[in-house]
Structure 1
Amino acid sequence: MPPYTIVYFPTRGRCEAMRMLLADQGQSWKEEVVTKESWLQGPLKASCLYGQLPKFQDGDLILYQSNAILRHLGRSFGLYGKDQQEAALVDMVNDGVEDLRRHCGHLIHHRHEEDKAQYVQELPGHLKPFETLLSQNQGGQAFIVGDQISFADYNLLDLLRSHQVLVPGCLDSFPLLSAYVARLSARPKLQAFLASPEHVNRPVFASRKI
């Protein structure tokens, strides 16, 4: 049996970054898919520490909170920078990703059509810090921090790819981010996962079939 189990809804959502990480690191995992109907019945929700998914199992260890899960995997696979300074920068990037993910989540789960125009207008301002960070690290030719991939790269990559679906062309004015998405998506094991039915057939956002 795989040592890892992801318990989540039938969507990419907050679990695709950890799936991408595991796939790229050559790991296997088990999926326990939770339907909306079973979630609304209540017992599973009541059993979750914070009353929400994802739930992640690593052997006997059970974790909640997607960013805590990513940090755990980052420590497990050496994806947390090469020293304390890089680890601090990785945390900073991941917090920036979380800020944008929350903005995006609010748009998707609430008044999508009414708010999308404003969201699209403000999106370049949210993307610019990541372009700046890339430009400051080996001219944007490597990763978001240092010279090795980190858990924050997977989280950022997932968010950027989701935005390419939500707002096509959103990276056109960010050449380093565009090249970054293409470069990381071409990593052999990650490319295979991104082409798999498991990824392709999962909707990006649970409440919208996009």
Structure 2
Amino acid sequence: MPGPFTITYFPVRGRCEAVRMLLADQGQEWQEDVVTMDRWQKGELKKSCLFGQLPKFQDGDLTLYQSNAFLRHLARTYGLYGKDQREAALLDMVNDGVEDLRLKYAQLIYQNYENGKAAYVEALPAQLCPFETLLSQNRAGQAFIIGDQISFADYNLVELVRNHLVLAPGCLGSCPLLAAYVERVTSRPRLRTYLESATHRDRPINGNGKQ
């Protein structure tokens, strides 16, 4: 049996919120080891981390770094990696596309928010278009991003799109399938309960207050 699970991270949603969403939707419990900046700056925890960075994820005696490794590990554990190798390959492609957009988002938030936000928001519909296209190719947008069952890539994509809806509330105006998909996924009972909880709502999206 997997677990117990522990997420070691700063007091933000950041790169762990998709993992939390997956665990909540799969009915799993986890612990949070919340790292303050004072604790991090002391250096001992940083030295113990394989790549010198957080987050860290523990599944029993298995310790992982890199948030996408967490997602893929949990996907294999809970059958969230597609029904066959073809779907698994497509899900890897989708998730890499999500990460490309996440990196652009992080660069905006942490490096160029004031000067770059307008241009970023203007370009955003084109950045979201590939996901709209993928949805249109899968049961006319009435299923998940790939196949007929939820996957790790769905949690990662939905979490990032929800962040963008805070940044640019109208960003899905040209992506009706993506908008409906986000609403459909976040309406799953256990996931909705988590997203409506104070645990989620009170945790900042990013570490610098930008969103």
| TM-score in terms of structure 1 length | 0.98
Which residue of 1 is the match for residue 62 of structure 2?
Answer: 61
Q: Distance in 1 between matches of 2:43 and 2:116?
A: 31
Q: Distance in 2 between matches of 1:42 and 1:109?
A: 22
Which residue of 2 is the match for residue 93 of structure 1?
Answer: 94
1:142-181 equivalence runs, <5 A: 142-181=143-182
Summarize the Cα distance change of 1:46–1:72 in structure 2 as closer, same or farther, 3 Å threshold.
Answer: same
- 2:81, 2:87 within 8 Å by CA — same for their partners in 1? yes
Task: Give ranges in structure 1 of 5+ residues lacking alignment.
Answer: none
Q: Distance in 2 between matches of 1:43 and 1:93?
A: 36
Which residue of 2 is the match for residue 182 of structure 1?
Answer: 183
Shift of 1:208: 1.6
Which residue of 2 is the match for residue 124 of structure 1?
Answer: 125
Which residue of 2 is the match for residue 11 of structure 1?
Answer: 12
Q: Distance in 2 between matches of 1:30 and 1:161?
A: 24
- 2:109, 2:210 within 8 Å by CA — same for their partners in 1? no
Task: Give ranges in structure 2 of 5+ residues lacking alignment.
Answer: none
What per-residue deviation string (whole Å, max 9, x for no partner) do you get for residues 64-97 of structure 1? 0000110000000000000000000000000000
Q: May I ask how many residue pairs the two structures share in their alignment?
A: 209
Which residue of 2 is the match for residue 50 of structure 1?
Answer: 51
- 1:57, 1:63 within 8 Å by CA — same for their partners in 2? yes
Which residue of 1 is the match for residue 199 of structure 2?
Answer: 198
Residue 52 of structure 1 aligns to a residue in which SS? coil
Percent identity, aligned pairs only, is 66
Q: Distance in 1 between matches of 2:207 and 2:173?
A: 26
Q: Distance in 2 between matches of 1:45 and 1:54?
A: 11
Which residue of 1 is the match for residue 25 of structure 2?
Answer: 24
- Of stretches 94-103 and 199-208 in structure 1, the one that deviates more from structure 2 is 199-208
Q: Distance in 1 between matches of 2:122 and 2:42?
A: 39
Shift of 1:10: 0.5
- 1:203, 1:209 within 8 Å by CA — same for their partners in 2? no
What per-residue deviation string (whole Å, max 9, x for no partner) do you get for residues 175-202 of structure 1? 0010001000100000000000000001
Matching of residue 102 in structure 1 with residue 103 in structure 2: yes
Residue 204 of structure 2 aligns to a residue in which SS? coil
- 1:7, 1:31 within 8 Å by CA — same for their partners in 2? yes
Shift of 1:172: 1.6
Shift of 1:111: 1.8
Which residue of 2 is the match for residue 39 of structure 1?
Answer: 40
RMSD: 0.8
Shift of 1:209: 5.1
Structure 1 segments, 4+ long, off by >4 Å, are none
Residue 33 of structure 2 aligns to a residue in which SS? strand
